[in-house]
Amino acid sequence: MSNPLLEDHVLPPFSSIKTEHIVPAIEKLINDNREFVLQKVKDIKSPTWENFIQPIDEVSNKLSKAFSPVGHMNSVVNSPELRKAYEKCLPMLSELSTELGQNKDLYEVYLKLSESPDFANYSKAQKKTIQDGLRDFKLSGIALPEEKQKRYGELKKRLSELSSKFSNNVLDATMAWTKNVISEDDLKGLPESALEGAKAAAKEKELEGYLFTLDYPSFFPIMTYCENRELRQEVYTAYCTRASEQGPNAGEFDNTEVMEEILKLKLELAKLLDFNCYSELSIATKMASSTDEVLGFLNDLANKSIAQGKSEYEELKKYAKEELEMDSLEAWDSGFVSEKLRQHKFAISQEELRPYFAADRVVSGMFEIVNKLFGITVEQTTDFDTYHEEVRFYHVKKDGKHIASFYLDLFARAHKRGGAWMDDCRARMIVDGELQLPVAYLTCNFTGPVGDKPALLTHNEVTTLFHEFGHGIHHMLTKIDVVSVSGINGVAWDAVELPSQFLENWVWEKEGLDIIAEHFETGEKIPQEMIDKLLAAKNFNSATAMLRQLQFGLFDFKLHTEYGTEGYKGIQAILDDVRSKVSVAETPEFNRFQHGFSHIFAGGYSAGYYSYKWAEVLSADAFSKFEENGIFDSKTGQEFLENILQKGGSEDAADLFKAFRGRAPEVDALLRHSGIGA
């Protein structure tokens, strides 16, 4: 049987990939990889970039190209069979990474390359690859005795399995809960778009009335617009108890023991490498220089936001009591009351804006904006292999030359992981003397077209799309040909959100909105009055939003810093303590936010969630240069392209930022953009 994952393809052969292809292909490519590297290490006498690093990168690329579509399909067209095959590959990949990361002979070759006379003549990208490699060898336990190296490998393998288990529990818990509402009378206040989506979902399941799930496009309208307080409470409870011992599916997909084991093993891993806690290990590869710097950064922002946050919450409570005649303001009321107050103060809602944000128009407008900023053009093509009929495919061109491509998968559906993300399909690098162009996956979970109406986005969803495309252009516009530091590779984790958050700024500017927004029926531009209201409403409850993100960041960092210490009292206790300091509202006792916090238990953000705020400071400060020179100033756009986007991870993130901005980053722009008076 021929196996498409073992054949060379420019793009993934999605339609040919069968579940039974996955494990044999990945197993073979892992073994090929291992044998090639070990033989290379054994045979090499005088290592150079060309005879050692380059060929190893090329054989590793074969494995990456095969596993990339497998991992992506597991997220976007999940099935029990696919999940099983995907999960079987994870420990094998982890073992390979650990084995090579602890190979002393391989480490010695890297050391020899760094000390050779030729090293001075290497490019910045080549030097950083070797320096990062030496650092990563140390973080892989290269200096450990054999017994401890073996334990390191066991820890990495088990953590990979646990991460997948956590993610699966959240996905299964999300899919397990539905609410079938028969009467429209129980859904007063819900926008037409949400009603149509829920009706279509019910029809698909051959049910009467309306069907709601815990996927964001279904969950969000209930919490924001539905006047039925009991329904809001029911949906809130189901959502914030997912994968826990609480709520409607209590104990069924419980992540409690998974979290405990993850934390225990991460601490053991950190201590093996002579760090006091996992947070110290985490920041060894980041811009931040110490745990104190991170905690100081988060607490400083919290201190500058808390007074305004409390004031915002008091205003919310007063409005709920006096205008909505509510006897109390509960957690399941906050989104609803916030939206009512927003409309009262600014007479603007996400639903009013939807008709101006038809998905196709927003997408084409976004391409127009990056063309103005960076001189790139984006062209759609229909000649490509896909995993789902809704997916689109585009080529990116610069000066008429094809430089990158990407898949765009916009809409929520069954068996697709929630949220939005960008992932690497192909990285830019030289393979057999030819340039391999970068390819990205851009994935969102918006409400799709209903009936004869096009897909209409909320302004929040437009912001999400720009965010992910910001990641995309970081990956695709790189000019670095060395794979380890090409595109998003090798970028410090707390700087990787800079381009994504940076691009969001254009959806808040009139000049940007004029390009992306027009009424889907009349073709009218979004009216100035509506833009004024949107901008006036932009910083509504901004301190509350700031504190919410700081709560997540502080919880994550304190958890990974304090776990296992004498004063540690448990996950819930850490979260409760953080909430007591930075939250302005009471959280129900049954809330189990941590059980669904995939970023830190199943993603790459363990002791790194602070990176979002850290990068937000960078992005706000970077955008302030455009504010000074004009938001479509091509010279400033070219400087951002050349200093940030094209350089990828080839130079230190702090140096790249200084090269663009002319100085170190400052928090003032973020506070100003957020409307927070420090």
Q: What percent of the chain has pLDDT over 70?
A: 100
Q: What is the mean pLDDT of residues 646-666?
A: 95
Q: Which contiguous run of DSSP H or E holds residue 408?
A: strand 401-411
Domains of the chain, residue spans: 4-101+103-139, 177-240, 256-347+542-609, 354-537
CATH number of 354-537: 1.10.1370.40
- Between these two residues, 538 and 372, which has the higher pLDDT value? 372
Catalytic residue among 339, 351, 468, 518: 468
pLDDT(368) > 80: yes
Per-residue confidence (pLDDT) for residue 451, from 0 to 100: 86
Q: Considering only CA atoms, which of 46, 1, 47 is closest in space to residue 24?
A: 1
CA distance 127 to 480: 13
Give me the mean pLDDT over the 577-594 stretch: 96
pLDDT over 90 (residue 347): no
pTM above the 0.85 mark?
no
Bridge-based pairing state of the strands 401-411 and 439-446: parallel
- Whether residue 526 contacts residue 517, with contact meaning beta carbons closer than 8 Å, is answered with yes
Question: Percent of the chain having pLDDT more than 90?
Answer: 91
Taking 90 as the threshold, does the pLDDT of residue 85 lie above it? yes
Our answer to whether residue 293 is catalytic in this structure is no
CA distance 603 to 282: 13
Q: What is the mean pLDDT of residues 2-28?
A: 96
Indicate the DSSP class of residue 450.
Answer: B
Q: Contact at 8 Å (CB) between 646 and 509?
A: no
Annotation: CATH topology of 256-347+542-609: Neurolysin; domain 3 (1.10.1370)
Mean pLDDT of 321-338: 96
Geometric angle at alpha carbon 192, from 186 and 193, rounded to 5°: 115
| Average pLDDT rounded to a whole number, residues 621-650 | 97
Residue 349 pLDDT class (50, 70, 90 cuts): confident
Asked if residue 678 has pLDDT above 80, the reply is no
Instruction: In whole angstroms, give the CA distance from residue 354 to residue 461.
Output: 10
Tell me which amino acid residue 12 is.
P
What are the DSSP calls for 616-659, one per residue? HHHHHHHHHHHHHH-TT-HHHHHHHIIIIITTTTSS-HHHHHHH
pLDDT on residue 603: 85
**For 4-101+103-139, CATH number?**
1.20.1050.40
Computed over every residue of the chain, the mean pLDDT equals 95
The phi and psi torsions of 68 (rounded to 5 degrees) equal -55, -50
CB 353 within 8 A of CB 458: yes
* Alpha-carbon distances of 257 from 84, 165, 171, 588, rounded to whole Å: 21, 11, 17, 22
Helices (H), 140-290: 146-176, 192-204, 216-225, 229-240, 256-272, 278-283
Q: How far is CA 390 from the centre of its chain?
A: 21
Cα dist. 135→47, 116, 128, 138 in Å? 19, 18, 10, 5
> Which residues partner with 378 through β-bridges?
396
Q: Do the domains spanning 4-101+103-139 and 354-537 agree at the CATH topology level?
A: no
Q: Band the pLDDT of 240: cuts 50, 70, 90.
A: very high
Above 80 in pLDDT, residue 454? yes
Neighbour order of strands in the sheet with 439-446: 376-381, 392-398, 401-411, 439-446, 421-426
Helices (H), 384-538: 459-476, 498-504, 510-516, 528-537
| Residue 1 pLDDT grade (very low, low, confident, very high; cuts 50, 70, 90) | low
